[in-house]
Structure 1
Amino acid sequence: MLVSGQSGRRRAAMAVAAAAALFGTMAMPAVAQAHDHGKPKVEDLQLLAINDFHGNLEPPAGSSGTVKEIDPATGQVVSTPAGGVEYLATALRQAREGHRNSVTVAAGDIVGASPLLSGLFHDEPTIEAMNKLGLDVTSVGNHEFDEGSAELLRMQRGGCHPTDGCYVEGREFGGADFQYLAANVTSEKTGRPILRPYWVKNVRGVKVGFIGVTLEGTPNIVTAEGVKGLKFGNEVATINKYTAELKRQGVNSIVALIHEGGYPASPVYNYDCGAAGAGISGPIVDIAKRIDPAVGAIVTGHTHNAYACSIPDPNGVPRSVTSAASFGRLYTEIDLKLDKRSGTIVRPSVTAANHVVRRDVPKAPDMTALIAYYNKIAAPIANRPVGYIGADINGRGSTDFEKPLGDVIADAQLAGLSPADKGGAQVAFMNPGGIRSDLVYKASGSEGDGVVTYGEAFTVQPFTNMMQVKTLTGAQLIQVLQQQVSGLNEAAPKILQSSKGLTYTLDMTKAGAARIVVDSVRLNGAAIDPAATYRVAANEFLAGGGDGFPAFSAGTDKLVGASDLDIFTAYLASHSSAGAPLAVPAQDRIKVIGGGADQD
């Protein structure tokens, strides 16, 4: 029915007031939520979203391959096996059925920190898998810069690796069929984005724009070489800038793909954050509240958490903000209605839900073939035994500040770098985010229970960072410990994994640097002398001040050692055997007061 005359205007005003009461105060022209011309003609659009895939082509092992959900029969939280690109492809293809308009998107870290099957080939297999499953567009994430911007551009454009060449004679890597977006990543020389800032899809006459950004703090969590020559702009300012540019081009339906995220109050994958987003914290909350209301939905990543929330925009109107955990264990389905008259997203129509990528569906044959192809090439390296364990040793799957696998890795680094000619290390530190998986006792292949293969070790330590040993004063060593819970790490502590011999108390009832009880810090039973010097080992990322630890960069007398992976595998080989497998560490190095769990 057309609305006309004074009574029509009155009814329209009442409709606006009702909408405002339901959804909050808003700038009506920016989003189609009420209409002067009767019920709008709309076009349905399905978005399917993933994030933080990290090259997990095969089903992830251990806790990395499960999601938390409520068992409807018991009401208890259970862990459900999930993930694997063979199942993800099937799930996405089934989800698209019956939808004439469907776009598949991602929010970064599709590659990087990948298991051996993908990482050995510089993630070419993952790009090929994403092409096959129909990914349309993704933002870059911080891990897309692990090997530098030139390698990221190769992922987009194709071509053989500059040093490793082509892996099979006559078979050249074709690059991504999907579009990488890097709106806030600019070249220092040109000032321009290194990749497209946005991508536009014409959905039956309605133009839908996708803007992609990574977190502004990417340089703090990537090696200096990986971000050399690049600048990373503010997420909100960048998205708002390109939103305005898209609107000038007549693109009024806009979706933001952001590689930054939040922390829901519950680990259950389908946890309800509440209409006002009260059940989620972290950087994405402030970001979402400041992004232009013309952006109709926000897809996020980075924190590896699962949520489908509503967070108020600058006008107080709820807006969908989602994340699909990590490793292909979930995908998010976001359903939109596009107003064909105004070209905007009808915001009240937006619904979003996460779905588990269950392993009880048929495997996608093309993905099975892709995995088999690369497994055959990788097998001689991947299947080589390097050690033995007597039980699961959890790393990524541990929610404790001190992780059992973190203890093992730090001990390996100390053992490999303590000889005088290797650096004379007295203590070693490992960043928790660098521990990418667990060591799982149950065999996933034919190697036998308790056997650790090179491929499994690579999955735990995939970066191949070179190790360094530096001299720090006792005062600087204390600063390192304090920076775990202060500065950039105060809101979400990054508790370093320390080698045996270093003990201290972490009091989480206090704030900032005071959480480290300085008088409790001991090395081999002796108090740390602020004026004395100590030889400290860490990977090149940490040693350069990464992850919010600038005290490391003040170290002197640097000695560069072997790679973290080589040191890890050497330790497993020399400290375990079939008859005497490596035991689970006691986790007795950090005494925690007030509880708390690592967030990474």
Structure 2
Amino acid sequence: MKNSKRWGRRVLSALAAAAVLAAVPVGAAGNGKSKGKPPASSHRYIEVQLLGINDFHGQLNVTRKVGGREVGRADYLAAYLKQREAENKNTLLVHAGDAVGASPPVSALLQDEPTIEVLNKLGFDVGTLGNHEFDEGVAEMLRLIHGGYHPATGDFAGADFPYVSANVVDAQTGKPILPPYVIKRVNGMPIGLIGVTLTETPTIVTPSGVAGVKFIDEATAINKAVRELKKKGVQTIVVLAHNPGVSNPDGTNASGEIVDIAKNVDDEVDVIFAGHNHAYLNAVVDGKLLVQSYSYGTAFSDVDLKIDPRTKDVVAKKAEIVTTYHDGITPDPEIRALVEKYEAKVAPLVNQVVGTAAETITDEQNESGESALGNLIADAQRAAMKTDFAFMNPGGIRADIEQGEVTWGELYNVQPFNNQLVKMTLTGAQIRQLLNQQWQPTQTRMLQISGLRYTWSASRPVGEKVIDIQLPDGTPLKPDAEYTVTVNSFLADGGDGFTVLTHGTNREVGPVDLDALVTYIRQLSQPFSAQIEGRITKLQ
């Protein structure tokens, strides 16, 4: 797979800060304190703790900021998880997909094996598949899980913990490619854990990434697994779902696909871990506790269950979303040493200086849908293929370019998918259709552009929102004329719903998108910069 939806990376700071308001223990954890021992209960319930992450994306050595405080990194996440795990021996560690893919060089250049090794060291108990697990196809995904040989890295032992997937099935046999669920016994209590992945995955993944598999309805797959678990006497059931959801810090206004799934699955399901849209979620919907803890290891979900040993069912449940603030806690030395080992392996390439940015260049879009970084990348791709126009999908831009020296590794973080550039010919009418495909039923995806300008209006109907399209000299785009266009291979195959690109003619394959960006920046006058130029204009 090459590009996914990037559902709200920019809301990370605001939402994570809001998470501190959701529960006092979150703030306490941010200061390196544990959540404390729960009060004694008159009932002899078994207390089980589930510690979960989602959308880690191999961010082993990447620090981010929330409210001006540093968060993230595998060694800090490890310290928090080990601290919480030490408080309750009845603990399971789980992840809800996208543990790998769109990773920084420290993991990606080593086939994401470092991330799996870190999860192994932390003692994760079960995980499921996100769309990014399909980045390099089903065979490579299964190699990371089960182990095997890769020419770039040699033999790899694989994950020490099982992956579960109830709704990803073999296209020929219709059978799941992984176990639909696993049963973990915690202090004698059987806990069923079911995995599912969003059914939209084939629309946000290159065809080669999902070749040979199909994605069936999540709720249908979950309910089938629940029936089997109930026959085996399992009453405590947890779902790991790589599906989006979001809520207010107080649990109100929960929305997203995961809410619909919760309403349509068996009431025996107790907890659903969500993912994909990198957001805050801590809410109860239809009796199910739904959680999601942002992304990139900047937070984790701490779910506490009380299980009646007589019925083996959950009688109480609650959750915290805990932010992994660096201040007040010591990073885990074992994981830090592991990360440093991988950093040393990739350092010669990662640390090469490519240029110097005059100021920070971000992919934050203005009201019209244009960003400075999007312009820079689109310009680089058009220059590499020498075409009239270039179009870049925003989901493929994964980080900003910070002011100062810019290294190869930093640019890799911006474009980590290794998509090849594709040159094709489109008519003016097809280009108008392409731009109108930005407004889709569930999401708007504003392509970043080079070589043209256009205006659009929100008041016009879907399919007709684009008004005027002009060339740089101000002349209008001619519907019957032919123009050369550059896109990446993900878009060229109709990714993100831009199906008109599959009809492009005279295709030529060019360099990898990252190489094009590196080459382009190296030839710019230094220090280089990029701005929003009015290429896209929303009419009021």
Q: Give the TM-score taking structure 2 as reference length.
A: 0.88
CA deviation vs aligned residue, 1:432-481 (integer Å, no higher than 9, x gap): 1111111112xxxxxxxx11111111111111111101111212111111
Match in the other structure for 2:24: none
Find 1:477's aligned residue among 409, 431, 434: 431
Match in the other structure for 2:62: 59
Match in the other structure for 2:250: 272
Match in the other structure for 2:261: 287
Deviation at 1:593, TM superposition (A): 5.0
Match in the other structure for 1:332: 301
Hey, what's the Cα distance between the residues in 2 that align with 1:256 and 1:521? 47
Match in the other structure for 1:24: none
Find 1:221's aligned residue among 199, 204, 218: 204
The answer (yes or no) to whether the contact 1:158–1:173 under 8 Å persists in 2 is yes
**Alpha-carbon distance change, 511 to 44 in structure 1, aligned in 2, over 3 angstroms:** farther
Match in the other structure for 2:414: 460
The answer (yes or no) to whether the contact 1:85–1:328 under 8 Å persists in 2 is yes
The answer (yes or no) to whether the contact 2:455–2:539 under 8 Å persists in 1 is yes
The answer (yes or no) to whether the contact 2:247–2:283 under 8 Å persists in 1 is no
Match in the other structure for 1:598: none
Match in the other structure for 1:159: 148
Letter in 1 for 2:157: G
Deviation at 1:491, TM superposition (A): 2.3
Match in the other structure for 2:162: 179
Matched, 1:105 2:88: no
Match in the other structure for 2:10: none
Hey, what's the Cα distance between the residues in 2 that align with 1:508 and 1:42? 55
Deviation at 1:273, TM superposition (A): 3.3
Match in the other structure for 1:371: 339
Deviation at 1:174, TM superposition (A): 1.7
The answer (yes or no) to whether the contact 2:390–2:485 under 8 Å persists in 1 is yes
Hey, what's the Cα distance between the residues in 2 that align with 1:264 and 1:409? 33
The answer (yes or no) to whether the contact 2:398–2:413 under 8 Å persists in 1 is yes
Matched, 1:356 2:323: yes
Hey, what's the Cα distance between the residues in 2 that align with 1:40 and 1:234? 39
SS at match of 2:334: helix
Find 1:495's aligned residue among 437, 440, 446: 446
Find 2:106's aligned residue among 113, 117, 121: 117
SS at match of 2:208: coil
The answer (yes or no) to whether the contact 1:333–1:355 under 8 Å persists in 2 is yes
Find 2:283's aligned residue among 302, 309, 315: 309
Match in the other structure for 2:221: 238
CA deviation vs aligned residue, 1:533-568 (integer Å, no higher than 9, x gap): 221111101010011111111111111111111101
Matched, 1:532 2:493: no
Match in the other structure for 2:194: 211
Hey, what's the Cα distance between the residues in 2 that align with 1:90 and 1:587? 45
Deviation at 1:123, TM superposition (A): 0.3
SS at match of 1:345: strand
Letter in 2 for 1:552: L
Hey, what's the Cα distance between the residues in 1 that align with 2:197 and 2:245? 14
Match in the other structure for 1:586: 532
The answer (yes or no) to whether the contact 1:413–1:568 under 8 Å persists in 2 is yes
Find 2:514's aligned residue among 546, 565, 579: 565
Matched, 1:344 2:290: no
The answer (yes or no) to whether the contact 2:419–2:489 under 8 Å persists in 1 is yes
**Alpha-carbon distance change, 591 to 228 in structure 1, aligned in 2, over 3 angstroms:** same
Match in the other structure for 2:178: 195
SS at match of 1:412: helix
Letter in 1 for 2:439: V
The answer (yes or no) to whether the contact 2:244–2:274 under 8 Å persists in 1 is yes
The answer (yes or no) to whether the contact 1:390–1:584 under 8 Å persists in 2 is no
Percent identical pairs in the alignment equals 43
The answer (yes or no) to whether the contact 2:279–2:294 under 8 Å persists in 1 is yes
SS at match of 1:408: helix
Letter in 1 for 2:268: A
Hey, what's the Cα distance between the residues in 1 that align with 2:336 and 2:359? 30
Letter in 1 for 2:97: G
Deviation at 1:43, TM superposition (A): 1.1
Deviation at 1:399, TM superposition (A): 7.6
SS at match of 1:350: strand
CA deviation vs aligned residue, 1:352-404 (integer Å, no higher than 9, x gap): 11111111221111111111111111111111111221111113x66863222
SS at match of 2:59: coil
Hey, what's the Cα distance between the residues in 1 that align with 2:68 and 2:502? 40
The answer (yes or no) to whether the contact 1:467–1:561 under 8 Å persists in 2 is yes
The answer (yes or no) to whether the contact 1:40–1:340 under 8 Å persists in 2 is no
Match in the other structure for 1:142: 131
SS at match of 2:466: strand
Hey, what's the Cα distance between the residues in 2 that align with 1:376 and 1:440? 22
The answer (yes or no) to whether the contact 1:40–1:341 under 8 Å persists in 2 is no
Q: Superposition RMSD on alpha carbons, in Å? A: 1.7
Deviation at 1:411, TM superposition (A): 0.8
In the alignment of these two chains, the number of paired residues is 496
Deviation at 1:343, TM superposition (A): 1.8
Hey, what's the Cα distance between the residues in 1 that align with 2:498 and 2:195? 28
- Please, which runs of 5 or more residues in structure 2 have no aligned partner? 1-41
**Alpha-carbon distance change, 387 to 110 in structure 1, aligned in 2, over 3 angstroms:** same
SS at match of 2:149: coil
Matched, 1:438 2:438: no
Hey, what's the Cα distance between the residues in 1 that align with 2:394 and 2:48? 39
SS at match of 2:239: strand
Hey, what's the Cα distance between the residues in 1 that align with 2:152 and 2:274? 33
The answer (yes or no) to whether the contact 2:110–2:153 under 8 Å persists in 1 is no
Hey, what's the Cα distance between the residues in 2 that align with 1:411 and 1:521? 18
Hey, what's the Cα distance between the residues in 1 that align with 2:508 and 2:445? 25
CA deviation vs aligned residue, 1:85-123 (integer Å, no higher than 9, x gap): 010000111112221211111110000010011000010
